[in-house]
A and B are shown apart, each in its own frame.
Chain A
Amino acid sequence: MPSRRYRAVVVGASLGGFHALRTLFAALHGRFPWPVIAVLHTATEDVSDMAQLYAARTPLNVSEAPERVAPQAGNVYLAPGGMHLLIETDGRFAFSTEARVNFSRPSIDVLFDSAADVYRSGLIGVVLTGANDDGARGLSAIRSRGGLAIVQNPATAEAPSMPAAALDIAGADYVLDLEKLGPQLNRLAGLDA
């Protein structure tokens, strides 16, 4: 049985994040019961090519998050390039071109913060490899709402600063090597096989 407590997963990745996200998405079960919403810091404005590369390795649908659409179970959504992605209070995707946060747009903190307000204790936040500290405050917000925090083991991350900052500032419920992250999410979803 999937835990009924959770309703969505948000993921943040920066330097080394393309490989990390591809590994994570590839490990997710085809019946994964929650939407997965990811921010990757990238210079690319158009993430649809990247979505195809991910889609080739995972049973889930992968697409750029569409404005004003509510995230659906079994789908992986990527933040558009050059814009912040937020979860609106009505549960739908919203964009913003406001100033960079932590030198980044899209910013992981912005997504995590807004998602924490909406999903509250029903949110799982995952911080992966990166060379900055984006995501740390957002993960704190998730934890302060009673959500679950998972951080990639900095010792095995391609760039350790971002997961290390997340652990410093927010702490985590699980600290795992990259290969174990997907299986752990499947287990939380009650999908052991």
Chain B
Amino acid sequence: MSSLHPSDLQDIEVRLFVQAMQLRYGYDFSGYSPASFKRRVRGATEHFGLATISQLTERALHDETLLTQLIARLSVPVTEMFRNPEVFQQLREDVLPWLSSFPQFNIWQAGCASGEEVYSLAILLEEAGLYDRALIYATDFNEHALDRAREGIYAAREARLFSENYQRAGGSGSLSDYYVAGYDHIKLDARLKRNISFANHNLTADGVFCEAHLILCRNVLIYFSDSLKDRVLTLFRDSLARGGYLCLGNKESLILSTLADEFKPVSSGHAFYRLRSTNAV
């Protein structure tokens, strides 16, 4: 028998873990990009104080109370308010005028994580006088992150970064107009939630649930294989209204996707696309 490098052994363990999660809970991670997914499985193993990924698999199989925490560890809920302010600037300048032509419009924030971005979006719409025409669906498959998103409470130490981002995004007031601070936390104004609907939706398994004029899904597809990425882009295509906008992460590109022809880049740089349609453009 040749000896196996520990990292190669972990590859085997990750595959068994993926199979166990699929069979036991119906969560399908098989379309995740292996390199970073392996890092997160290792991270979860350490977090739960276990020595091997196989032990994590055993725990996951036998202890369903672990599931929510485990999903939280396997997803990547890294976000901030007005992250990449230039994206929000472009939303304000290019997308909001189009949205304002509708008496009502839907926005789907896919992979909303802990919600910082969806509140940023609500503020942006509020300042443009459009919020009351909007219905925002904020979805994620990480129930733990969704709970945090529903609360809208964030660490006060982040407020300064959030405020800087807000100013750089062209905010017209002060971000502190939208939260109260106390006990090392900031709590966003509950009014911002009035047209946000938080829901559990798993991009790897669930289908279309609304017709959206704008879909934001930033830095989610980077974790998916080519085929899963195409599946999700198909879902977005089928969810978008004619001429609707898709906003991806700054470094994400559709160039190599089989769906590339269905979306027209709005401009270079900030990953905005519009759905082409057979009748228009």
Number of interface residues of B (CB under 8 A): 23
Q: Report A137 CB to chain B, min CB distance, Å.
A: 12
> Does A153 belong to the interface (CB within 8 Å)?
no
Q: Which residue of A lies closest to B86 (CB)?
A: A45
Give the CA-CA distance A141 to B222 in the complex, in Å: 24
Q: Which residues of A contact B5 (CB under 8 A)?
A: 144-145
Pairwise interchain contact A98-B35, C-beta atoms closer than 8 A: no
Residues of B238-252 contacting chain A, CB below 8 A? 249-252
> Does A132 belong to the interface (CB within 8 Å)?
no
Q: Report A19 CB to chain B, min CB distance, Å.
A: 26
Pairwise interchain contact A84-B7, C-beta atoms closer than 8 A: no
Pairwise interchain contact B256-A68, C-beta atoms closer than 8 A: yes
Give the CA-CA distance A89 to B226 in the complex, in Å: 13
Pairwise interchain contact B36-A68, C-beta atoms closer than 8 A: no
Q: Which residues of A contact B280 (CB under 8 A)?
A: none
Pairwise interchain contact B39-A110, C-beta atoms closer than 8 A: yes
Pairwise interchain contact B256-A98, C-beta atoms closer than 8 A: no
Pairwise interchain contact B39-A98, C-beta atoms closer than 8 A: yes
> Does B1 belong to the interface (CB within 8 Å)?
no
Q: Which residues of B contact A67 (CB under 8 A)?
A: 222, 251-253
Given A68-B256, A95-B251: A86 touches B35 (CB 8 Å cut-off): yes
**Interface flags, A132-163, vs B, CB<8A=1, else 0:** 00000000010011000000000000000000
Q: Report B268 CB to chain A, min CB distance, Å.
A: 12
Q: Which residues of B contact A95 (CB under 8 A)?
A: 219, 222, 251
Given A67-B251, A68-B256, A83-B251: A97 touches B222 (CB 8 Å cut-off): yes
Pairwise interchain contact A89-B76, C-beta atoms closer than 8 A: no
Q: Report A79 CB to chain B, min CB distance, Å.
A: 11
Q: Report B79 CB to chain A, min CB distance, Å.
A: 8
Given A66-B253, A68-B256: A98 touches B7 (CB 8 Å cut-off): no
Instruction: Please pick, from A45, A80, A96, the residue contacting B36 in the complex, using a CB distance under 8 A.
Output: A96
Pairwise interchain contact B35-A87, C-beta atoms closer than 8 A: yes
Q: Report B110 CB to chain A, min CB distance, Å.
A: 15
> Does B27 belong to the interface (CB within 8 Å)?
no
Q: Which residues of B contact A66 (CB under 8 A)?
A: 253
Q: Which residue of B lies closest to A116 (CB)?
A: B7
Pairwise interchain contact B34-A88, C-beta atoms closer than 8 A: yes
Give the CA-CA distance A68 to B248 in the complex, in Å: 15
Q: Which residues of A contact B35 (CB under 8 A)?
A: 86-89, 94, 114, 117
> Does A99 belong to the interface (CB within 8 Å)?
yes
> Does B185 belong to the interface (CB within 8 Å)?
no
Q: Report A124 CB to chain B, min CB distance, Å.
A: 18
Pairwise interchain contact A97-B219, C-beta atoms closer than 8 A: yes
Q: Report B30 CB to chain A, min CB distance, Å.
A: 13
Residues of A68-87 contacting chain B, CB below 8 A? 68-69, 80, 83-84, 86-87
**Extra inter-chain contacts (6) besides given A45-B250, A86-B35, A97-B78, CB under 8 Å:** A45-B84, A67-B252, A68-B226, A89-B11, A98-B39, A110-B39
23 contacts between A and B (CB under 8 A): A45-B84, A66-B253, A67-B251, A67-B253, A80-B251, A84-B36, A86-B35, A87-B35, A89-B11, A89-B35, A94-B33, A94-B35, A95-B251, A96-B36, A96-B39, A96-B76, A97-B219, A97-B222, A98-B39, A99-B78, A117-B8, A117-B11, A145-B7
